[in-house]
Amino acid sequence: MKNLIIATRGSVLALWQSEHIASLLNARGVQAQLKSMKTKGDKILDTPLAKIGGKGLFTKELEESMLRGEAHIAVHSLKDVPVEFPQGLVLAAICAREDARDAMISEKYAEFGELPHGAKVGTTSLRRKMQLLSMRPDLEIISLRGNVQTRLRKLKDGEFDAIILAMAGINRLNLRAEVKHVTPFEISQMIPAMGQGALGIEAVDEPQILCAIEFLKDERAIIETTVERDFVRVLEGGCQVPIGINARLEGENIHIGAIVGLPDGSESIRQSIVAQKSQYQSVGTELARVFIEKGATIHFIKDPATTTVVASPCEVSYSGKNLASICHHP
């Protein structure tokens, strides 16, 4: 296929991502052009995502454009992509991953521990809110919507002591040059969202289109994000649920950390496991089932108001057995 139309959101980060993929396609002799549009998530900026529909808010209009035949592919931040797709569309490629971590950005404070008591921290993510408050219950977490430039302006205007952004976006837009302090969290401190740092290419399910973008696939990213997306799919979580999941491929092992809890950080289930690379297509599902057995869907996802128990952290190894049977608590 010699020509492809890329559906994209109009934000600076979305355009960077789409232009990046377009340049890769052009280098392969495929002429790619962008079709920019606003999604519902771009238009409604005064309400937290969890209250207006979650991740699909950033993809629906792009998907409708492809289904109408107006575009062939769409480039997404994979963390914003739901685990189910409309008929006729597929997740056709997952590209090489950027830094998956979250980071604190501040004009005043170089380290998270330096934030004063009651500091105002901006984020709309329930996942980030949960983990921030579990570390620092004194913080005031304030909803922060809008594109990256809007968020940075509010920080510089003094509305926040710090804001939380993904390192992938910080690196792609070279934001270190625009703020005084960028401090990444360790994965163990703040477990990222599924797919964070990776680009996902959604496409019309036609052989000639899929063939044209086949070269964009990255094996490492596919392995890691398959684990993560399977975990969230089984738990049926989106923006409405505080879920963190990160898989890191190191040699023949996959190191996985996951957390599910309440938005206020008061209660959670958190586990870390090590699986073999060859088991990447099953371990995410198995880990999710362990979380279900520990009450995740009852206490945190289906009816969080009824939760009464917090599971202890769990360090396990996975080798094809039922995770619950080999889980031990410190």
Catalytic sites, residue numbers? 80
Q: Residue for token digits 């914003």?
A: 80
Roughly how many angstroms between the first and final C-alpha of the chain, as a whole number? 56
Helix (H, G, I), strand (E, B) or coil at 159: coil
Transcribe 25-72 into DSSP letters. Answer: HHHTT-EEEEEEE--HHHH--SS-HHHHTGGGGGTHHHHHHHHTTS-S
Reported residue count of the chain is 330
Strand partners, 203: 73, 90
Looking only at the bridges linking them, the beta strands covering 73-77 and 3-9 are: parallel
Contacts 24+ apart (CB under 8 A), 66-70: 66/7, 66/202, 66/203, 66/204, 67/204, 70/5, 70/7, 70/35
Residue ranges of E strands in the chain: 3-9, 31-37, 73-77, 89-94, 102-106, 120-122, 140-142, 162-166, 181-184, 199-204, 243-250, 253-261, 268-276, 314-317
Decide: 96 and 169 in contact? Cβ < 8 Å. Answer: no
Q: Strands 253-261 and 268-276: what pairing?
A: antiparallel
DSSP classification of residue 111: S
- The answer to whether 131 and 141 have CB atoms below 8 angstroms apart is no
